[in-house]
């Protein structure tokens, strides 16, 4: 057995897509499946496609290359703004990319012509979250320039919220995006096929039927892999939050005090730790450290246990409440998004797939 391991239940991923499609289909909103949290791993992407996802999206070209090989017929979207150094790979690997910069768009156009491709672009608009996006006042000028570029097709407008600034999607800010799109359509006599209304943070609005009607695409990662919306991290009814389970082994289990003995200086990460005296507890040392997963990303499945802390290679857990656990016992964790990202990208965590 190879521990630590992350056990990935592919059936649960497919079922989560099913739940999402039931939410989105009545509003004619297409769910684009975002694969970045699991590095575009093809088995998991296949489970998404089995649930009816038609387009996959990732922030990294390396992951898109992997997906392109595994699913040559599935259209791919690049989520992170392409860099000037990445325009060739972008047009080769992705059918669509999200953009906000005129120099990059010009370079994408030239790359598209070089490779005899037509590349679709979604222009990202800044609606307050302060990550990517052009200010609404500058949009019309950028559109007029993009429409003159050969090799590119203006697919539509998009927004990203609740990422950097935590700005919540509302009927107002998404409505403003729709108004901008309709303004552009009128001004240039064109129609924009796609208005991309954000990520898993837009799901609770969609569930309550308050996403403006013309929004017809959401780019969903966490909603599929962890089965929740991401404004309040509420579970989506019928979806699984435990499609991924992390398992690791106990190396030592001794009764020890809760406060270290001796005078206290810096810990392994240069911080001065603080302790509350809870007397002696049975402390399980688990072979799982910050090189495997960030401690903040772990959720113990056994409610009798509690995390004391972690260093690079060890997690210390209060196992007093579970007397049956001893050296060699396996402890299981659910993961939040941060934990999932860490576990899926750490080379030390073995990946095991089940159905
Ligand atoms: C990561 C990402 C998403 C998906 O976010 P989730 O919260 O996982 O649904 C959507 N759009 C962009 C631009 C992203 O970078």
Which of 17, 35, 79 is the best mutation target for the ligand 1 pocket, counting ligand atoms within 8 Å of the beta carbon and taking the most?
A: 79
Task: List the CATH number of the domain containing 341.
Answer: 2.40.30
Which of 29, 35, 57, 218 is the best mutation target for the ligand 1 pocket, counting ligand atoms within 8 Å of the beta carbon and taking the most?
A: 57
Task: List the CATH number of the domain containing 139.
Answer: 3.20.20.10
Query: Last residue of some domain: 162, 194, 225?
Result: 225
Q: Is 283 in the pocket of ligand 1 (CB under 6 A)?
A: no
Q: Is 97 in the pocket of ligand 1 (CB under 6 A)?
A: no
Say how far apart CA 286 and CA 292 lie, in whole Å: 12
Task: Provide the pLDDT for residue 1.
Answer: 62
Q: Is 20 in the pocket of ligand 1 (CB under 6 A)?
A: no
102 and 147 inside one domain? yes
Ligand 1 centre to CA of 135 (Å) is: 20
Say how far apart CA 57 and CA 51 lie, in whole Å: 15
Q: Is residue 264 part of a domain?
A: yes
Residues 79 and 33 sit within 8 Å (Cβ to Cβ) = no
213 and 267 inside one domain? no
160 and 24 inside one domain? yes
154 and 302 inside one domain? no
* Shortest-distance Cα residue to atom 14 of ligand 1: 79
Q: Is residue 230 part of a domain?
A: no
Say how far apart CA 19 and CA 12 lie, in whole Å: 10
Active site residue 21: no
Say how far apart CA 133 and CA 123 lie, in whole Å: 8
Give the Å distances, CA to CA, from 225 to 129, 242, 283. Answer: 24, 9, 32
Q: Is 221 in the pocket of ligand 1 (CB under 6 A)?
A: yes
Residues 125 and 134 sit within 8 Å (Cβ to Cβ) = yes
Q: Is residue 235 part of a domain?
A: no
44 and 130 inside one domain? yes
297 and 217 inside one domain? no
Q: Is residue 182 part of a domain?
A: yes
Say how far apart CA 246 and CA 2 lie, in whole Å: 12
Residue 225 Cα: closest atom of ligand 1: 8
199 and 294 inside one domain? no
Q: Is residue 321 part of a domain?
A: yes
Among the options 12, 21, 36, 256, which is catalytic? 36
Number of domains composing the chain? 2
Residue 158 Cα: closest atom of ligand 1: 13
Ligand 1 centre to CA of 34 (Å) is: 7
290 and 197 inside one domain? no
Structural domain for 205, as ranges: 10-225
Q: Is residue 4 part of a domain?
A: no
Q: Is residue 202 part of a domain?
A: yes
Query: Last residue of some domain: 225, 257, 290?
Result: 225
**What is the chain's pLDDT, residue by residue, as a tens digit (355 residues)?**
699 999 999 999 999 999 999 999 999 999 999 999 999 999 999 999 999 999 999 999 999 999 999 999 999 999 999 999 999 999 999 999 999 999 999 999 999 999 999 999 999 999 999 999 999 999 999 999 999 999 999 999 999 999 989 999 999 999 999 999 999 999 999 999 999 999 999 999 999 999 999 999 999 999 999 999 999 999 999 999 999 999 999 999 999 999 999 999 998 888 898 999 999 999 999 999 999 999 999 999 999 999 999 999 999 999 999 999 999 999 999 999 999 999 999 999 999 999 9
Q: Is 293 in the pocket of ligand 1 (CB under 6 A)?
A: no
Q: In the structure, how many helices (H) and strands (E) does the chain have?
A: 10, 16
47 and 180 inside one domain? yes
Helix (H/G/I), strand (E/B), else coil: 31: strand
152 and 200 inside one domain? yes
* Shortest-distance Cα residue to atom 3 of ligand 1: 199
Task: Provide the pLDDT for residue 269.
Answer: 86
Q: Is residue 137 part of a domain?
A: yes
Ligand 1 centre to CA of 109 (Å) is: 25
Query: Last residue of some domain: 225, 256, 290?
Result: 225
161 and 218 inside one domain? yes
Q: Is 219 in the pocket of ligand 1 (CB under 6 A)?
A: yes
86 and 217 inside one domain? yes
């Amino acid at each position: 057995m190879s521990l630590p391991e992350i056990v990935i239940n592919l059936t649960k991923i497919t079922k989560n897509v099913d739940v999402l499609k039931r939410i989105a289909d009545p509003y004619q909103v297409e769910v684009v499946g975002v694969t970045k949290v699991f590095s575009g791993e093809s088995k998991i992407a296949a489970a998404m496609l089995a649930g009816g996802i038609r387009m996959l999206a990732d922030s990294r070209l390396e992951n898109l290359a992997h997906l392109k090989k595994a699913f040559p017929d599935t259209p791919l979207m690049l989520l992170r703004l392409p860099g000037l150094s990445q325009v060739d790979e972008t047009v080769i690997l992705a059918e669509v990319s999200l953009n906000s910069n005129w120099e990059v768009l010009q370079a994408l156009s030239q790359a598209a012509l070089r490779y005899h491709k037509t590349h679709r672009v979604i222009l990202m608009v800044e609606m307050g979250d302060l990550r990517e996006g052009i200010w609404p006042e500058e949009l019309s000028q950028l559109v007029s320039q993009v429409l003159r570029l050969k090799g590119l097709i203006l697919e539509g407008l998009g927004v990203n919220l609740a990422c950097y600034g935590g700005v919540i999607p509302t009927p107002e800010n998404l409505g403003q995006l729709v108004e901008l799109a309709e303004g552009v359509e009128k001004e240039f006599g064109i129609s924009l096929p796609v208005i991309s209304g954000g990520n898993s943070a837009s799901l609770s609005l969609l569930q309550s039927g308050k996403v403006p009607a013309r929004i017809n695409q959401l780019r969903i990662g966490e909603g599929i892999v962890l089965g929740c919306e991401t404004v309040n991290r509420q579970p989506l009814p019928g979806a699984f939050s435990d499609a991924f389970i992390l398992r690791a082994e106990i190396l030592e289990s001794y009764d020890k005090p809760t406060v270290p003995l001796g005078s206290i200086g810096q810990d392994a990460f240069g911080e001065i730790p603080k302790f509350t005296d809870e007397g002696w507890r049975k402390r399980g040392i688990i072979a799982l450290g910050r090189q495997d997963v960030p401690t903040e990303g772990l959720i113990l499945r056994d409610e009798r246990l509690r995390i004391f802390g972690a260093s690079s290679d060890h997690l210390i857990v209060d196992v007093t409440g579970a007397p049956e656990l001893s050296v060699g016992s396996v402890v299981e964790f659910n993961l939040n998004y941060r934990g999932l990202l860490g576990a899926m990208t750490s080379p030390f965590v073995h990946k095991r797939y089940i159905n």
